[in-house]
Structures are given as C-alpha cells and as structure tokens.
Amino acid sequence: MSYFSARCLVTGGAGFLGSHLCERLLDHGHEVLCVDNFFTGRRTNIEHLLDNKRFELMRHDVTFPLYVEVDRIYNLACPASPVHYQHDPVQTTKTSVHGAINMLGLARRVGAKILQASTSEVYGDPSVHPQPEEYWGNVNTIGIRSCYDEGKRCAETLFFDYRRQHDLAIKVVRIFNTYGPRMHPNDGRVVSNFVVQALKGEDITVFGDGEQTRSFCYVDDLVEAIMRMMETPADVTGPINIGNPGEFSILELAEKVIALTGSNSKIIRLPLPQDDPKQRRPDITKAKQILDWEPTIRLEEGLKKTISYFDNLLAQKPATA
C-alpha cells in the first residue's frame, strides 16, 4: 500500500504501540509530531528517532487543548494496562474523554483526518464469541476496570457524534491484545508479566484456573492495520476489529513462555480479578474485507522477539529503564 507524505500527530507516541507507529510513519516518509505526557510512555522508546529531522517530540497532556498544524491525527493516548489505568482511574477517564474532545476539536479546526485507537475492552466480559463489531458488549459501568472500558466507549461515541454533527473524517479501530518489544516491564499485562517472571526465574502468576482465553497480535501486524485503516476512503469509519483471531488459554501462554525461555519457573494460581473477561477473540472479517489485512506473525515467532527484548532490558541497570 502506498502513502502520500503527511504531517502526522501521534498522541501517546512514546508508548509501546505509539513508538512503533511513529517509527513506521517515518519509514513511509511522513513528518511525525510525537505527543506524550510520559505517564506510561518512555523516552527510551523513541530516543532512536530524535535525530530524524522529520520527527518532533512534545511533552503534553491531551486532557488540555493542543494547537498545531497537522494532516493526520492518531489518537493513542491512554494507559492501556490494568495496573496503569487503575492507578489513577479518574485521570484515565479524563484522558479518554477529554483527550478525545480535544483531539476531535483540533481535527475539526485544521481539517485533519483522525483515528481513534479504541479497544476490545468495549466488549467487556463478552457473551458473544468471537466478538464482531456489531456486538454492543457486556460492561460493568461501576467496576474497577470501568475507567478504561467506559472511557473508551464514550470516546467512540464522541467520534461518531463529531462525524454526524460536523462531518469530520474519522476512523475507529478496536485493538485486541497486542505484544512485542517496548512493552513496559511492569505494566501487568499477561505477556510482559510471564516473560519477565520467566526470565527472572520467578513463579509465573496465572489468575483463576488459567482456562480464560486471549488472542495475541504482534505489534508489527497491528501497526500495519492501523496505517491501512487511516488510508481507507472517507466512507469507511469503522469501528473495525484489529487483532489476531488465534485463541490461546492463559495456561497455554504460560507454558509456551516457559519453554521458549528455558526457565525453571513454576506456575502458581491467584484469585481472578474483578470483571476479568473469560474469553477474548476478534472477528476480523471486516479487517480482511476492507483493509485486506490479517496477522502474519505467529505467536511463537513474536514471543521470541519479545523475550529477546526483555532479556536485553533486564540486563541493563536499572531493569525498568
């Protein structure tokens, strides 16, 4: 797929997913303004881009208005792991809702096309499996995960209301579990948890009976889908699921990580957190039809790259740098 050169704003650009997107946009010849407040994003994720003349870094919180001139806005800003988004749940909701309002306002002022990085969490603990975009979800509005789930649901509402009310060019993707290099080692997500625990020789903590399932998409595949979505015709708004439809139990993932790391770690079980989904798997029919996209990187291949990244990271001092 070919892309014309554009001025791109990536909010949350120093985060795990945002840094990979910034990198890919630069590879395609775009100018990139990376905006991050560094709550969960890290400078080390984008340090290798700082010498690029088409890359600019700005420390800014999207809950405050931003005045810049851009053609494309990729709105990725928001803590995405339970450990981080539950640390300050009020701020998490503000980031999703106020952040969406501010970025939509910017897009309207400058005539930019804007993409919202929504999430599979809008489906809650689903009663439909796999989850198609037409499914409205099963979400607890007052639970400990609600700051993220409901914040993202409200952001989607805002995007479609801006389109209906202001004819804004919007794109919405619902991202399922994504993993790869530059994940935060302490973000509490299952892949990073298991890999770090295995590399340290610690017990691997599985919540519940471990039979709950997830689908894991490698970050390179995910970024490709995001870029394809941004370049779709104006009448394609989404939401579109992007993720890997391959489904694995949490126990299967733990065993695979132990095997690939050669670790002596033991698997222990802890109580299941509140509202933890029992099943999570995308129906990517629309992504295949509209974006001509599906994941190409198998779980074992992606895990090897992720393990190598964390192995190098843990060898540094401090380990969480």
Can you give the residue ranges of every domain in the chain? 7-314
Burial class (CB in 10 A: 0-12, 13-18, 19+), 266: exposed
Quick: pLDDT tens for 17-44: 999 999 999 999 999 999 999 998 999 9
148 is known as an active-site residue: yes
Residue 119 and residue 155: Cα distance in Å, rounded?
Answer: 11
Q: Is the pLDDT of residue 321 over 60?
A: no
Question: Does residue 277 have a cis bond before it (omega within 30 degrees)?
Answer: no
Predicted local distance difference test score (pLDDT) of residue 132? 94
Quick: pLDDT tens for 88-104: 899 999 999 999 999 99
Reduce the DSSP state of residue 89 to 3 states and report it. Answer: helix
Fold observed for domain 7-314: Rossmann fold (3.40.50)
The residue from 74, 85, 148, 179 that is catalytic is 148
Beta bridge partners of 117: 173
Residue 36 and residue 33: Cα distance in Å, rounded?
Answer: 10
Quick: pLDDT tens for 126-173: 899 899 999 999 999 998 989 989 999 999 999 999 999 999 999 999
Quick: pLDDT tens for 237-246: 999 999 999 9
- pTM greater than 0.95 (yes/no): no
**Average pLDDT, rounded, for the chain:** 93
